[in-house]
Structure 1
Amino acid sequence: MPNSTSTAQFLLLALADRQELQLLHLCLFLGISLAALLCNDLILSTVACDHHLHIPRDFFLLHLSLTDLGCICTTIPKAMHNSLWDTRDSSSMGFVAQVFLLIFFFGAEYFLIIIVCYDRYVAICKPLHYGTLLGSRTCAHMAAAAWATGFLKALLRSANTFSLPLCQSSALSQFFCEIPHIKLSCSQSDYLRELGLLG
């Protein structure tokens, strides 16, 4: 197989073959993303403005809304652009940036959900110690750790995926940029590097 270490662009799968269906997908994406943006903005403004909601549960809910906004703003605009202009290509730097941001926001969300589970555990099983175990400083440290862990995970996964030489076609059978379906590498060490990263 020929070895090609970089590609100028990636080709994404089209949502539909006909322009009418692509415009329908655009309207559907626009409606769903506007509803999600409105709901998350309401959560953010309500938690920020109401002083009665400055408890750990709502603090973490605010951070979960931020990660949700990040995931929406990372994938939906490019998908809407592709549907509106009937394009499929994505530059390699844009592809890498979208993969990095998506993994970053999903990773942070994953660890924030774990923290919310711990918060609920403490609230139910140790209600008398709730204030001491989950003070404002502890909550800030836990949220910062979740964001930092998401960033580290995104950095490692992106670096691992895009540092390998690519030898297959740059046409991908997916609608937006994400790592799980990218199997373009011709390196024999790809599998071992992925296992090492997961370990």
Structure 2
Amino acid sequence: MGREKQTWVSEFILLGLSSCWETQVSLSVLFLAMYLMTVLGNFLIILLIRLDSRLNTPVCIFLSVLSLVDICSINSTVPQMLIHFLSAQKPIPFYSWVLQLSISLAVSSTEFFLLEAMAYDRCVAVCHPLHYAVIMHGGLCLGLAAGCLVAGFMNSLMETIITFRLLPCHGVINHFACAALAVLRLVCVDIYFNKVMVMASVFVVIMLPCSLVLFSCGRMVVAILHICSTQRRSTASGTCASHLTVVCICFGATIFTYLGPRSASSVEEEKMVALFYAVVAPVLNPLIYSLRNKEVMAALYKFLEKFRDKG
């Protein structure tokens, strides 16, 4: 079908996760609880780092940016999902869909680059502890954080433009939110160029950061084996374990979505993996990183004590 025969689709209908009303109500309660946990938990981390001057460290700068990214990530999808759970129809206007896709791509891309920067920071802390303050100075940390944001938004702009230069043939989408692969399945014309660009983006945004995170973890493992102090070895091992956990959760889920085997059930599997990344990962990230950070936990206890005393 040529472009001249395509019709403009002004609204899309999402099929969502389930057509059963009872299931949708149950999911809405569950996702609302997870949404509130994510927003409040990440906002608390940002507040603690902002209020406590002792947390003005490189790792906490990255943590605050990661928390902001997680808040934006879950807000790009879950509020709409909660509304659709309680609706018979699940419409979304074309321009709203473009906006949601661009935001979700931007925050997810930023997160992958940010996880790479955080792994590098911890690698320097473990492998070069005496030179850590000199290497990871404030200017470098702010530059890395800003670079992650710029790179994420540039990737989102590129993917959004090449995706929506093609007009979809119909407006019914088997997904719960905007996703690049779901959009491409609606197009009736040749999408070879789009597939090439998506694979290039997967390599730069996902595979390359994942490889560098694993390389940093490998460097940390080698350094840990040479640490004599039991306490330092335990701390370094916990740091490495945190990054490996995030690799499995964030990178693993996304790599499966883009590079996993295509089959008749792959669309449903893709939805489940996307759901895990969109809803579960933002809840786990602050727990994985912040609960292992002694300075953040000390600031949290201090904040709770002040709040209790005022009460």
TM-score when normalising by structure 2: 0.60
- Cross-structure match for 2:52: 50
2: CA distance, partners of 1:86 / 1:43: 37
SS of the residue 1:85 aligns to: coil
The equivalent position to 2:154 in structure 1, one of 152, 155, 158, is 152
How does 1:1-199 map onto structure 2 within 5 Å? Answer: 1=1, 3-167=5-169, 169-182=170-183, 183-188=185-190, 190-196=191-197, 198-199=199-200
Answer with 1 or 2: which has the greater Rg.
2
Provide Cα deviations, 1:45-104, integer angstroms capped at 9, x if missing partner.
Answer: 111111111110111011100110011110000001111233311100011100000000
1: CA distance, partners of 2:53 / 2:101: 36
* Aligned alpha-carbon RMSD (Å): 1.6
Q: Is the 8 A contact 1:5 1:164 kept in 2?
A: no
SS of the residue 2:131 aligns to: helix
State the Cα distance separating 1:170 from its structure 2 match. Answer: 1.4
Provide Cα deviations, 1:152-177, integer angstroms capped at 9, x if missing partner.
Answer: 0000001010011322x211111111
Tell me, which stretches of 5 or more residues in structure 2 are unaligned?
201-311
2: CA distance, partners of 1:34 / 1:165: 36
Give the aligned residue type for 1:177: C
State the Cα distance separating 1:42 from its structure 2 match. Answer: 1.3
SS of the residue 1:187 aligns to: coil
Asked which structure has the greater RCO (Cα within 8 Å, sep 6+), the reply is 1
Q: Cα gap change, 1:67/1:5 in structure 2, threshold over 3 Å: closer, same or farther?
A: farther
Instruction: Judge which range, 124-133 or 151-160, deviates more.
Output: 124-133
State the Cα distance separating 1:40 from its structure 2 match. Answer: 0.6
Give the aligned residue type for 1:172: I
SS of the residue 2:186 aligns to: coil
Q: Is the 8 A contact 2:163 2:194 kept in 1?
A: no
2: CA distance, partners of 1:197 / 1:17: 31
Tell me, which stretches of 5 or more residues in structure 1 are unaligned?
none
Q: Higher helix fraction: Structure 1 or Structure 2?
A: 2
Percent identical residues:
30
Instruction: Give the number of equivalent residue pairs.
Output: 197
TM-score when normalising by structure 1: 0.92
1: CA distance, partners of 2:16 / 2:57: 44
Moved over 6 A (4+): none
